[in-house]
Amino acid sequence: MGFFMPRRVARQGVTSSLTFCNFESMRVLVTGGAGYIGSHVVRALRLQGHEVVVLDDLSTGHAAFVERNGVPLVEGDLGDPAALRRAFGDYGRIEAVVHIAGKALAPESVRDPGPYFATNVTGPIRMLDCMRKHKVERIVFSSTCAVYGTPPSLPITETCPRNPISPYGSSKLAFEFALEGYRAYGLRALPLRYFNVAGASDDGLFGELHDPETHLIPNLLRAAVQGSPFKLYGTDYPTRDGTAERDYLHVEDLARAHVLALERLDSLDFNAFPGALNLGTGRGVTVREMLSAAEAATGRKVLVGEEPRRPGDPPALVADPRRAQELLGWRAEHDLESMVGSAYRFHSQAGFEGGSMRNERRLKFGELAIKAGYVGDHAVQQALKTQRERDGIGESHKLLGLILLEMGAISNEHLIDTLRRMNEASQRLKKVT
Ligand SMILES: NC(=O)c1ccc[n+]([C@@H]2O[C@H](COP(=O)([O-])OP(=O)(O)OC[C@H]3O[C@@H](n4cnc5c(N)ncnc54)[C@H](O)[C@@H]3O)[C@@H](O)[C@H]2O)c1
């Protein structure tokens, strides 16, 4: 519990464009808080004085991001009853959920849709039922412009028909429908339909590390830095330079929108608008324009290999973000240069290979001891079982070491050396706050 700030602080929060009035701090569960967007949202919530618990299975996320934010991590699948029990039960009363966890690769969802419906619909519905049980009635949800499919006109407003063209988009829409239905139970639910999220934190601590990386900016930066060819799909679209046009939004602007959404959830009149908000800048950027921005940021040329259009890629997707501006008092503030520049600074520190930070997380005692060759996997499993069976002794990694010692599975010297390694590893992980 040492993570938390004092509770129930009525405060005056300030952002660069807005002054909030006396919002009480909330304890918020952020699913997917170890991921790219989630880690920025956690940071923004903390900076506004909210307490945060992260629920993440680390399938694509990074424990190091959670550590940098200094908040507790419940490691587990959001559809797993035991993980939900811990998330909602172990850290005090959760007052709101920001549901960001999800699978998000549209082409993969076409080839293998099952996991998309399991992760993006079935699991989250279990979580909604757990929220009901714990009387948690606020949720902000990471939806996507993929729910619109190929829009009939631009810019896209929230009343544009929802017509997804991939199982990914359908799974996100299905959960939007579930949220609409659960309003009958008193749930206040706001789906935020993000357009293309990009950029990194200004200080280079948080950014985008996906494996495989499918997003444009990290791939352009890698191509520029490594001198590898960049595949440009489609040069004959009906856009100003023939390449696909998208609405790119800086991840820090996006994170700020979540804080505002959460804080205004209670006062929104859900009958007076379509129930979801688009988050974008309202300006489209083509692939060639982004390519020039990446060349300017890195000072290097990108080698381009032109390829035919990919099936299912609409020519242009641009948001009409006016409703979010009106209801949340929010607007995107970062420009293209700061998006690409911050991403470049982040990758210059974290590497240009997606997922490369995954191993940087603080290893648990058992993992470290196995890695050092001091104990076997079987002994660690036995010790974990003993630890679970002894009521009230908690999950401390150091205690696990003592149980291994008691079992005669580890020597005193190796116990001390493993603890030293744990300490060194956590020193290496920088803290934000
Ligand atoms: N990145 C974008 O441009 C973009 C655009 C529109 C919508 N979105 C949505 O935003 C969300 C986050 O995107 P991101 O780019 O940060 O992705 P990400 O992969 O970096 O983050 C997703 C996080 O969810 C976790 N997760 C996945 N399945 C889980 C499960 N079953 N249980 C618990 N945790 C689980 C992952 O470990 C990861 O930390 C996704 O839901 C995505 O659909 C992203």
How many whole angstroms separate alpha carbon 216 and alpha carbon 223? 11
Judge if pTM exceeds 0.95: no
**Ligand 1 neighbourhood includes 196 CB (under 6 angstroms):** yes
- Nearest Cα to Cα of residue 150 among 315, 276, 279, 280: 315
**Both tokens of residue 230?**
């960049």
Q: Give me the phi and psi of 5, to 5 degrees please.
A: -85, 165
Cα separation, 110 vs 249, in Å, equals: 25
Q: Does the CB atom of residue 142 touch ligand 1 within 6 A?
A: yes
Distance of CA 112 from the midpoint of ligand 1 (Å):
17
**207 Cα–ligand 1 center, Å:** 13
pLDDT tens, N- to C-terminus, the chain (433 residues) = 333 333 444 444 434 333 344 468 999 999 999 999 999 999 999 999 999 999 999 999 999 999 999 999 999 999 999 999 999 999 999 999 999 999 999 989 999 999 999 999 999 999 999 999 999 999 999 999 999 999 999 999 999 999 999 999 999 999 999 999 999 999 999 999 999 999 999 999 999 998 888 999 999 999 999 999 999 999 999 999 999 999 999 999 999 999 999 999 999 999 888 899 999 999 999 999 999 999 999 999 999 999 999 887 899 999 999 999 999 999 999 999 999 999 999 999 888 876 555 444 445 788 888 888 898 888 888 888 788 777 666 667 778 889 999 999 999 999 999 888 887 766 655 444 3
Ligand 1 atom 19: residue of nearest CA: 60
> Is the beta carbon of 119 within 6 A of some atom in ligand 1?
yes
Cα–Cα distance, 245 to 186 (Å, whole number)? 39
Dihedrals phi, psi of 142, to nearest 5 degrees: -75, 95
Does residue 326 sit in helix, strand or coil? helix
Q: Is 123 in the pocket of ligand 1 (CB under 6 A)?
A: yes
Domains of the chain: 11-359 (3.40.50.720), 363-428 (no CATH)
Query: Tokens 């630890």 correspond to what residue?
Result: 387
Return the DSSP state at 203. Answer: T
Are 243 and 237 a contacting pair, CB within 8 Å? yes
Q: What does DSSP assign to residue 66?
A: H
Give the other-Cβ count within 10 Å of 98's Cβ: 29
CA of 59 from ligand 1 middle (Å) equals 9
Dihedral (Cα; 20, 26, 31, 34), 10-degree rounding? 70
Contact 240, 291 (CB under 8 A): no
Rounded to whole angstroms, how far apart are CA atoms 414 and 55? 32
106 lines ligand 1 (CB under 6 A): no
Long-range contacts of 65-68 (CB under 8 A, 24+ apart): 65/33, 65/34, 65/35, 65/38, 65/39, 65/206, 66/33, 66/34, 66/39, 66/42, 67/361, 67/362, 67/426, 67/429, 67/431, 68/39, 68/205, 68/206, 68/429, 68/430, 68/431, 68/432
Q: What single string gives the DSSP state of each residue in 140-158?
A: EEEEEGGGG-S-SSSSBPT
> 122 CB less than 6 Å from ligand 1?
no
Supply the residues annotated as catalytic: 168
Burial of 142 (0-12, 13-18, 19+ CB in 10 A): buried
Q: How far is the CA of 263 from the centre of ligand 1 (A)?
A: 22
The Cβ of residue 2 has, within 10 Å, a number of other Cβ atoms equal to: 5
CB proximity list for 271: less than 8 A, separation 6 or greater: none
The residue whose CA has the least distance to atom 1 of ligand 1 is 197
Q: Where are the alpha helices (DSSP H) in 183-232?
A: 216-226
Atom 10 (ligand 1): residue with closest C-alpha? 142
Question: Rounded to the nearest whole angstrom, what is the distance from the C-alpha of residue 101 to the centroid of ligand 1?
Answer: 4
Ligand 1 neighbour 13 (Cβ under 6 A): no
Q: Whose CA is nearest to atom 30 of ligand 1?
A: 77
Angle at 365 between CA 364 and CA 370, to 5 degrees: 100
